[in-house]
Amino acid sequence: MSPRIKREGLSRERILRAALGIVDREGLDALSMRRVGEELSVEAMSLYNHVENKGALLDGVFETILGELPTAALAAEWPANVRERACALRSVLRAHPNALPLFATRPAVTPASLVYVEGALRELKAADFAPREALSAFQVLVAYVVGHTATTCAPVASEPGGRPAYARLDELSFPRVREAARLLPTHDVEVEFGLGLDAMLAGLAPLRNRSVRGRPRSASE
């Protein structure tokens, strides 16, 4: 296939898929317009016809990962819907662990990324969360999902001294830490994630309708 035919086949979607592949294999630090050009066997300058700059490339990787989320199947009760969204987000983030820092540092900005935000806020509104409480609930839930997933699923640094030597701690000074360390090999982080999610849902429940209780809801709420 000639270079001319390859250039004609270039598209934003193809560029973003190539960028995500680089992140998955080599990490975020390896991502650049030049590296994506090499991946697609085109000049880096040709990418700018479809993606403005590296920032837009990162936003596109963010978007592409969220695009892997399944269509939400709404349940009768709001906690089940919120739980389903949270678990689905965790699942796609686990599939792309090298991209986790992206979700910890960048907001959703592209229309395709904001579809996820819109859907989540819409479900919270339907569950009688006022706009401000819905925003807070959404923010803390996403922070929990991203934070816990980053803590438990991100690639572990291989530098010397990067792993804690719990077994060397003094038993008298750190009995509980030593006890917890012995449990770590069999500790189920998915059960732990579910425990935290249940606690958050229970804590968010009293916020429902709090700011509109005692008066009619306005059209904006």
- Torsion sign, CA atoms 184, 188, 191, 113: positive
Q: Which of the listed CATH numbers 1.20.1270.360, 3.20.20.60, 2.40.50.140, 1.10.10.60 matches domain 3-51?
A: 1.10.10.60
Q: Which CATH superfamily is 78-155+162-207 part of?
A: Tetracycline Repressor, domain 2 (1.10.357.10)
pLDDT for 211 equals: 52
User: What's the pTM?
Assistant: 0.85
pLDDT for 189 equals: 94
CA separation for the pair 127, 193 (Å, rounded):
23
Which DSSP category does 207 fall into? G
Under DSSP, is residue 61 helix (H, G, I), strand (E, B) or coil? helix
Could you tell me the CA-to-CA distances from 218 to 185, 209, 212, 213, 214 in Å, in that order? 52, 12, 9, 12, 12
Which DSSP category does 77 fall into? S
CA separation for the pair 61, 137 (Å, rounded):
25
- Give the largest CA-CA distance in the chain: 71
Domain ranges of the chain: 3-51, 78-155+162-207
pLDDT tens across the length of the chain (221 residues): 445 444 448 999 999 999 999 999 999 999 999 999 999 999 999 999 999 999 999 999 999 999 999 887 777 789 999 999 999 999 999 999 999 999 999 999 999 999 999 999 999 999 999 999 999 999 999 999 999 999 998 887 666 656 678 889 999 999 999 999 999 999 999 999 999 999 999 999 998 876 555 444 444 44
- At residue 199, what is the residue type? A
pLDDT for 221 equals: 45
